[in-house]
């Protein structure tokens, strides 16, 4: 099977990581967390020969979803999110977009269950529910490549904040320890902000855990 490639755009007022995944030699791609400017994401990928086939959301906070509707409209791709995140995706108060000055909601095409797998563009992603940053926060695990897109659950030597609606620090730390730290140490973690890390490194060096 062709090698999986991962790229990143850093977008919006919160410098949010928007990832795109595709197989070497293929034009089909998945976008994870279209942070802002869906038209820019679409045009940039299109200029580089990539066609968006699916849009995945790790959670519903404004800085991760502001570009989702434009990207869906331009690409025709479906949006996927955890079913528990409906209360944020579809509510401008809960997703903090109204407080950020740009009220915004999105209705995903598909709400996924914990542990459910979806294959798009020849890439199989498994949703791992990691509530805490928000009630429906999740990570996407591409097991064949040892890649975890962690959203705002787990950062390099840090974790996501829990002072926004539906957040819980106890739930967050429990989810990381029980759902993420059971993954192989070599799994590469791509967070919603900042640089990549590895599961093994975080088990040893993350002061919050």
Query: Does the global pTM surpass 0.85?
Result: yes
Overall average pLDDT of the 166-190 stretch: 98
Residue 3: count of CB within 10 angstroms of its CB: 8
Asked if the model's pLDDT at residue 1 lies above 80, the reply is no
Overall average pLDDT of the 167-187 stretch: 98
Domain boundaries, given as residue ranges, for the chain = 4-205
Q: Please, are residues 22 and 5 in contact by the beta-carbon 8 Å criterion?
A: yes
Dihedrals φ, ψ of 82, to 5°?
-70, 140
Dihedrals φ, ψ of 67, to 5°?
-95, 5
19-74 pLDDT, tens digit per residue, is 999 999 999 999 999 999 999 999 999 999 999 999 999 999 999 999 999 999 99
Those residues whose C-beta lies under 8 Å from the C-beta of residue 3, and which sit 6 or more positions away, are 23, 24
Dihedrals φ, ψ of 189, to 5°?
-105, 125
* Topology of the domain covering 4-205: Metallo-beta-lactamase; Chain A (3.60.15)
């Amino acid at each position: 099977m062709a090698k999986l490639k991962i790229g990143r755009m850093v977008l919006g007022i919160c410098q949010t990581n928007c990832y795109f995944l595709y197989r070497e030699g293929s034009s089909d791609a998945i976008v994870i967390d279209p942070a802002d400017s869906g038209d820019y994401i679409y045009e940039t990928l299109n200029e580089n020969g990539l066609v968006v086939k699916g849009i995945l959301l790790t959670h519903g906070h404004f800085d991760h979803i502001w570009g989702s509707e434009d990207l869906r409209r331009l690409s025709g791709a479906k949006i996927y999110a955890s079913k528990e995140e409906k209360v944020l995706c579809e509510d401008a108060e809960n997703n903090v977009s109204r407080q950020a000055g740009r009220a915004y909601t999105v209705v995903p095409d598909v709400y996924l269950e914990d542990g459910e797998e979806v294959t798009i563009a020849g890439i199989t992603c498994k949703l791992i529910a990691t509530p805490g940053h928000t009630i429906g926060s999740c990570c996407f695990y591409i097991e064949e490549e040892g890649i975890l897109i962690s959203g705002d659950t787990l950062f390099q030597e840090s974790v996501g904040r829990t002072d926004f609606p539906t957040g819980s620090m106890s739930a967050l730390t429990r989810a990381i320890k029980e759902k993420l730290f059971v993954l192989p140490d070599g799994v590469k973690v791509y967070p919603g902000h900042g640089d990549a890390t590895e599961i093994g490194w975080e088990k040893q060096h993350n002061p919050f855990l």
